[in-house]
Amino acid sequence: MTNKVIENLYYTKSDEWLKVEDAIGTVGITDYAQDQLGDIVYLEKIEKGKKLKQDETLTTIESVKAVSDIKTPVTGEVTEVNIKVIEDASIINKKPYGEGWIVKINIDNKDELKNLMNDKEYSEYRKE
């Protein structure tokens, strides 16, 4: 079984991905993370306007196997929440990099991107 890693995204060691467009970062969990969780049944609602620091808990996600924290890859403010995944968290299992995105964050400090991995580094990290 392969776990997809998408180019041109940033990755965290806790298996979140970040897509950066200007100062907005779209956040989701990786294919590896959704695979490890199994059937995702619930995503805790996230408030728009919530301010978070890099590595703080953004929300919790529940699957039939476990409850896990989803961390924020960068410091910033939540500008948009994907209501579809709040209503039907199983979308994350099907399309973790597409429709399964979780929030958009206004990135406070792009220097923090240096703390994240690129696709090749993340693939290597996951092989270990």
Cα–Cα distance between 40 and 51 in angstroms, integer?
25
Q: Take residue 41 and report the two structure tokens written for it.
A: 């049944």
Which residues, in sequence order, are bridge partners of residue 117? 11
Tell me the per-residue pLDDT of 43-77, one tens digit each, with 9 for 90 and over.
Answer: 999 999 999 999 999 999 999 999 999 999 999 99
Q: How many CB atoms lie within 10 A of CB 80?
A: 15
All domains in the chain, ordered by first residue: 10-110 (2.40.50.100)
Name the pTM for this structure.
0.95
Determine the distance from the C-alpha atom of residue 3 to the mean position of all C-alpha atoms in its chain, rounded to a whole number: 15
Q: Take residue 102 and report the two structure tokens written for it.
A: 């979780």
Cα–Cα distance between 57 and 55 in angstroms, integer?
7
